[in-house]
Amino acid sequence: MSRGPRGGRGERSGFVPPASLYIHVPVCASKCSYCDFYSVCAPSLSPGFEKELVEATLSRAAVLAERFGAAGFDTVYIGGGTPSLLSLPALERLLGGIENLASRGTGETAREWTMEANPDSLGPGVLEIAKRHGVTRVSIGVQSLDPGELEILGRRHGADAALGALRLAAESGLKVSADLIAGIPTAERAPRQFFDADRLASFARESKSAGASHLSVYDLTIEEGSPLAAARGSLRFPDEDEAWEARRRLEALLGDLGLRRYEVSNYAAPGDECLHNTAYWHMDSYIGAGPGAVSTIALESGASLRVEEPRLVADYRDAASNADETFIELPDAAFESIMMAFRTSFGLDLASFRRRFGIDPGDLIGETLRIWEAWLAIGEPWPGRAASGGPALTSRGMDILNRFLGDCLAEMDRTKTHFVPEKW
């Protein structure tokens, strides 16, 4: 049995200061067919709406930063929605406020600052403002380079616009990441196409050629309530074998191009990983501001505090009253930590885990680690941290991550009694 180095429930109020900031901008020009996220859709936003959104988001970010003791931010990520859809004055205001918050008035900008953009709203004006305020990286929603697939996804841009946006961003000197979607269906009534397992890889190659040094390839999930769910009956989806083959060929190609799979859905050359997302996977504290954003703050006791912001823009000015706060108790926080770590090729940081939870991972999931030995390797060093030498899933293991996590969870149901009672 292990005993933690720190106390239990009484220390809930001690926050581990966050060094990562997420800003959510829930606006879209139109709804994509696969999306069920809350967002306000309009081809252009009214000045009043933008003003309210930006001012309330900045104000809330400042309050959260103060409450949780943030001393500037190492990483910033502006996601959505489509942040690049904001008008240039609104974007200027938003980025100016974030720059102040990230630097804490010292003038030192965040080490990594990513902004999401869609190909149809990323122009030179957006890039100029972004660079001036300290943005270092742009993540562009390419999704596909096939006109038919883009139509099924309800995307507003074509392949040329997507490649053009990648080139424009890369030429501006920013790091560029491209999002692609795997497992896109074809129209059932169209002449049945032979499934092209190389298609995804070819999109990745073109994106890389156009300037992307990082790729995020997400499997298409059909959310109930999304337009795509309603059209499901008239579409043909790739089966599991086809999807697996496409992913395998993608990985082989990217390997040849020097990009390795460092997380279930992410590929980059060493040194080009997304530091902000790495902070999530390492379960570091982070602040999320903007309608629908989430903050997760590690507590000195090892547990976590999760703050979910109100989703509606109309409620957001009053976020302090409308946010939902949940304590994640120690065993649940420990499982979340395992769950996130095994998404990555860095794996479980043993020293951090022991320090935070006061228990050896072997005491919690030792049997699972033995059973899964053939699917495990020694984890790579986490970016910017000392090498931990902890276990990580191989790429083939990542393909069946959920099965592995199911085994971890089942074992933890038996072993979580190892947490000393006062740590609960």
| Contacts to other proteins by CB under 8 A | 40, 46-49, 51-52, 55-56, 58-60, 62-63, 65-67, 70, 96-97, 100-101, 103-106, 312-315, 317-321
Nearer to other proteins, 285 or 388 (CB): 285
Nearer to other proteins, 105 or 233 (CB): 105
Nearer to other proteins, 68 or 357 (CB): 68
Cβ 98 to other proteins shortest distance, Å: 10
Cβ 58 to other proteins shortest distance, Å: 5
CA trace torsion 80, 85, 90, 92 (10° rounding): 90
222 half-sphere exposure, CB direction, 13 A CA radius: 14
Cβ 50 to other proteins shortest distance, Å: 10
Nearer to other proteins, 13 or 321 (CB): 321
Nearer to other proteins, 98 or 163 (CB): 98
Which residues face 22 on adjacent strands? 77, 288
Cβ 48 to other proteins shortest distance, Å: 3
Cβ 35 to other proteins shortest distance, Å: 18
Cβ 418 to other proteins shortest distance, Å: 39
Cβ 140 to other proteins shortest distance, Å: 26
Cβ 52 to other proteins shortest distance, Å: 6
Nearer to other proteins, 103 or 415 (CB): 103
Nearer to other proteins, 99 or 116 (CB): 99
Cβ 102 to other proteins shortest distance, Å: 11
Nearer to other proteins, 55 or 332 (CB): 55
Cβ 30 to other proteins shortest distance, Å: 15
H, E, C per residue of the chain: CCCCCCCCHHHCCCECCCCEEEEEECEECCCCCCCCCCCEECCCCCHHHHHHHHHHHHHHHHHHHHHCCCCCCCEEEEEECCHHHCCHHHHHHHHHHHHHHHHCCCCCCCCEEEEEECHHHCCHHHHHHHHHHCCCEEEEEEECCCHHHHHHHCCCCCHHHHHHHHHHHHHCCCEEEEEEEECCCEECCCCCCCCCCCHHHHHHHHHHHCCCCEEEEEECCCCCCCHHHHCHHHEECCCHHHHHHHHHHHHHHHHHCCCEEEECCEEECCCCCCHHHHHHHCCCCEEEECCCCEEEEEECCCCEEEEECCCCHHHHCCHHHHCEEEEECHHHHHHHHHHHHCCECCCCCHHHHHHHHCCCHHHHHHHHHHHCHHHEEECCCCCCCCCCCCEEECHHHHHCHHHHHHHHHHHHHHHHHHCCHHHC
Nearer to other proteins, 168 or 319 (CB): 319
In degrees, to the nearest 5, what angle opens at C-alpha 126 toward C-alphas 141 and 161?
40
186-187 and 235-236 as β-strands: parallel, antiparallel, unpaired? antiparallel
